[in-house]
Amino acid sequence: GAGVSQTPSNKVTEKGKYVELRCDPISGHTALYWYRQSLGQGPEFLIYFQGTGAADDSGLPNDRFFAVRPEGSVSTLKIQRTERGDSAVYLCASSWGTATGELFFGEGSRLTVL
Amino acid sequence: GENVEQHPSTLSVQEGDSAVIKCTYSDSASNYFPWYKQELGKGPQLIIDIRSNVGEKKDQRIAVTLNKTAKHFSLHITETQPEDSAVYFCAASSGAGSYQLTFGKGTKLSVIP
């Protein structure tokens, strides 16, 4: 695939459950980002990876949220003890490097917490 | 941190007319200002961007202007077409990390045939 791939596209879970969202970036892109988009809002920055390490996780709302990118390609966003307020579309993006430039977004994973 | 305000929230224009969307930002250190288009059920897609050392940039029917003194920038779409209908987001880099974009709340543009 040529674009950023995110799975699942939709996830419905119950309050208190654990959730994993997966992102497969464009091949060769070293930078990977997670953003969260609530209904009627613009995307909000969560975390940025350069290679395998989280270069900036200042956007993660609390310690229930965690993300990994163990081999510098695929990333997983993990949410523990989900709350109804976590319901949103989680967007992943990738880019060639750290300089400002185009972010290539996936179609997102829509999370609904009942 | 950076704060980006975007207006209007909705905009309807007749096909062939021009559309203008305006944004203001708060952090004078911000130096990168992209515009993204988001269609229903899709991720945002970059349509044009501008850096702080440039006042205006044009790409076919789309142009962006930047006024650093006033801390505002605008998107201009001329000769609008129905396929321009989408939600448009402006964004600004935080300055501290150019990868960390702060987005406006979006403008839903409807082009009426």
* Residue-level pLDDT, tens digit, chain A, 114 residues: 589 999 999 999 999 999 999 999 999 899 999 999 999 999 999 999 988 888 889 999 999 999 999 998 999 999 999 999 999 999 999 998 766 578 999 999 999 999
Q: What is the pLDDT of residue B100?
A: 83
> Helix or strand or coil: residue A42?
coil
* Residue pLDDT, tens place only, B70-101: 999 999 999 999 999 999 999 998 655 567 89
CB neighbours of B44 closer than 8 A, spacing ≥ 6? A43, A91, A103, A105, B36, B37, B38, B89
Please compute, for residue A42, the number of CA atoms within 13 A of its CA located in the half-sphere on the CB side: 24
Q: What is the pLDDT of residue B53?
A: 83
B85–A contact, CB cutoff 8 A: no
Determine, for residues B106 and A40 on separate chains, whether the beta-carbon distance falls below 8 Å: yes
* Residue pLDDT, tens place only, B53-77: 889 999 999 999 999 999 999 999 9
Positive or negative CA dihedral for A71, A52, A98, B24? positive
Q: What is the pLDDT of residue A55?
A: 83
Determine, for residues A107 and B42 on separate chains, whether the beta-carbon distance falls below 8 Å: yes
What phi and psi, each to the nearest 5 degrees, are found at residue B8?
-80, 175
